[in-house]
Amino acid sequence: MLAKANLKVLIVDDSITIRELMKQQLKELGVCCFETAETGIEALELFQISNPNLVFLDINMPKMNGVEALSKMMVINPKAYIIILSSLCTKEKVNETMQCGAKNFFMKPIDDKKMEHILLEASQLF
Amino acid sequence: MDVKYFGQFLMEHKFITPPQLLDAVQHQRGVNKKIGILAIDKRYINSQQLQLILDSQKFKSKPFGELAVAKKLLTHEQVSELLSTQKVDRILLGEALIECGYLTLGQLEKALNTYKCEQEEAQFFIASSLGAMHPQYSDLVQQSTNIIQNMLLRLVDQRGKVFGCFEKTPKNSHYDYMTYQEIKGEKNCIIGMALNAQTILLIASRILKREVILVNELSLDVIKEFVNIVLGHISSYLSNQGFKTEAMLPHSMKFSEFVPLIKPQTEIVVSILMTEDQFDIYYLFQ
């Protein structure tokens, strides 16, 4: 099991607000190692280079959306631990992303309790 | 039953007379000093420099502090200090009425409680009436109003007032920026949010948990997220009703550059109009 502080987290969201808020939240919860990406394309590059333990992925983004990025990440690493974090929670999107291999789907913003739970689950896998 | 401002409510319920209200508002204005006056009081700028900043504010819809910093008349630290002073010293109408001796604390508490109950009833009545006029959107109005109101309470400590479009004509001159986002597909919807610069800074500071003094990419992105969250709930609602829709990306721009987007196929329009002391939520169904 990996200590929470050693988890490598990738935050993918086109909103700088969400990236900033999630960085703050993760820092407060003891995570020190994270990278951020603004688009699906940037996320894929970082995913290949850094091989993160946990990815928070938005869906509605310019250039490459989250569903496409998710599919490509799962091809690169089928065991990737990817959580979809979106403001849109439609049945189709939940089904589509879960079928593509996402571990879970949450609506933004995510509260500390849920975040703690995700971090614990992810850290137990490594 | 309609939504009223607190001053209007106090007069109608005979807590105060119209001259007393005027007197208290004048007292409130005297205490709640503008940032430029505070800067003069602290001798950070002189009256000519104040005029220079105010003149440039006529052409650029930017906050006073931002223009003063750009003109190198104030530093970021001085603007932060002045904004904090402004916030600490600010008084509300009720406090002004007590300071003028027109209400006791007990009378104010009693009036506030009655006012809050009446406003909640009025809001429920308006949302229900809108829902009754458009039964297919009744739940949507209730749900999205709840979401917006909860966010407003968290971010600006107040609830908004709900209107059917356009029972009241919005005053466009009050707003500096516009953010909007669209849902397209079997139902077409636009969520728009018009704000003045001060309100953007207030909301951005609350969300980012630090003082934000510039309207920039970050503070406008905070507003986009506000709209995005409201849109997300509406989109989820439509999905649960069986409609296939797609959410577009949010956009922000200066209010003066915004071109209204409502087309014949746009079925739902939600507009949130915000200045420091007025928060209105408009619904249009067509």
How many Å apart are CA B182 and CA B13, to the nearest integer? Answer: 43
Residue B239 contacts A, CB cutoff 8 Å: yes
Taking contacts as CB-CB distances below 8 angstroms, the residues of chain A near B249 are 14, 60-62
Count of domains for chain B: 1
* Class in CATH terms, A4-124: alpha beta
Spatial neighbors of B136 by CB under 8 A, at least 6 apart, are: none
pLDDT value of position B138: 80
How many Å apart are CA B174 and CA B71, to the nearest integer? Answer: 24
Q: Please identify every stretch of chain B with a pLDDT value under 70, giving residue numbers as ranges.
A: 1-4, 60-61, 123-131, 165-173
Chain A residue with the nearest C-alpha to that of B244: A92
Instruction: Please state, rounded to an integer, the average pLDDT across all residues of chain A.
Output: 89
Q: Please provide residue B100's backbone torsions phi and psi, each rounded to the nearest 5 degrees.
A: -80, -10
Measured from the Cβ of residue B105, the count of other Cβ atoms closer than 10 Å reads: 10
Mean pLDDT of A7-32: 90
Asked whether the beta carbons of B93 and B7 are under 8 A apart, the reply is: yes
Q: Which string of b and e fits B243-253 if b means at least 16 CB within 10 Å? A: bebebeebebe
pLDDT value of position B1: 52
Residue B218 contacts A, CB cutoff 8 Å: yes
Q: Any idea what the Cα angle at residue B100 is, between residues B95 and B101, rounded to 5°?
A: 95
Taking contacts as CB-CB distances below 8 angstroms, the residues of chain A near B208 are 17, 20-21
Segment holding B51, helix H or strand E: helix B47-59
How many Å apart are CA B115 and CA B161, to the nearest integer? Answer: 14
In a domain, B192, yes or no: yes
* Confidence at A72, pLDDT banded by 50, 70, 90: very high
Cα distances from A25 to residues A31, A124, B259, in angstroms, run 9, 20, 37
Chain B residue with the nearest C-alpha to that of A109: B229
How many Å apart are CA A117 and CA B21, to the nearest integer? Answer: 53
- More confident: B146 or A119: A119
Mean pLDDT of A82-108: 89
Distance from CA of A38 to the nearest CA of B (A): 13
pLDDT value of position B57: 79
How is residue B193 written in tokens? 């949010």
Taking contacts as CB-CB distances below 8 angstroms, the residues of chain B near A18 are 225
Taking contacts as CB-CB distances below 8 angstroms, the residues of chain A near B222 are 17
Measured from the Cβ of residue A8, the count of other Cβ atoms closer than 10 Å reads: 18
**Contact assignment for B235 to A91 by CB distance below 8 Å:** no
Residue B143 contacts A, CB cutoff 8 Å: no
- Asked, as a colleague might, if the bond just before B166 is cis with ω within 30 of 0, I would say yes
How is residue B245 written in tokens? 């829709």
Distance from CA of A71 to the nearest CA of B (A): 19
Pairing of strands B278-285, B189-195: unpaired
Asked whether the beta carbons of A57 and A77 are under 8 A apart, the reply is: no
pLDDT value of position A110: 84
* Confidence at A73, pLDDT banded by 50, 70, 90: very high
**Contact assignment for B239 to A92 by CB distance below 8 Å:** yes
In a domain, B89, yes or no: no
**Domain ranges, ordered by start, for chain A:** 4-124
In a domain, B228, yes or no: yes
How many Å apart are CA A46 and CA B48, to the nearest integer? Answer: 53
Could you identify the residue written with the tokens 């401002």? B5
Asked whether the beta carbons of B231 and B247 are under 8 A apart, the reply is: yes
Could you identify the residue written with the tokens 């002045």? B82
Spatial neighbors of B236 by CB under 8 A, at least 6 apart, are: A88, A89, A90, A107
Q: Interface of chain A against chain B, CB under 8 Å?
A: 14-18, 20-21, 24, 60-62, 86-92, 107-109
**Contact assignment for B247 to A91 by CB distance below 8 Å:** no
Chain A residue with the nearest C-alpha to that of B229: A87
How is residue B85 written in tokens? 């002073």
Q: What's the pTM value of the predicted model, to 2 decimals? A: 0.66
Residue type, A117: H
CA dihedral B168, B172, B176, B179 (to 10 degrees): 60
What is the C-alpha R_g of chain B?
Answer: 21
Distance from CA of B98 to the nearest CA of A (A): 40
Asked whether the beta carbons of B126 and B164 are under 8 A apart, the reply is: yes
Q: Where are the beta strands (DSSP E) in chain B?
A: 161-164, 177-185, 189-195, 245-247, 251-254, 268-275, 278-285
Asked whether the beta carbons of B253 and B178 are under 8 A apart, the reply is: yes
Structural domain that includes position B198: 134-285
pLDDT value of position B169: 54
Pairing of strands A54-57, A8-12: parallel
In a domain, B191, yes or no: yes
pLDDT value of position A82: 95
Measured from the Cβ of residue A70, the count of other Cβ atoms closer than 10 Å reads: 24
The CATH number linked to B139 is 3.40.1550.10
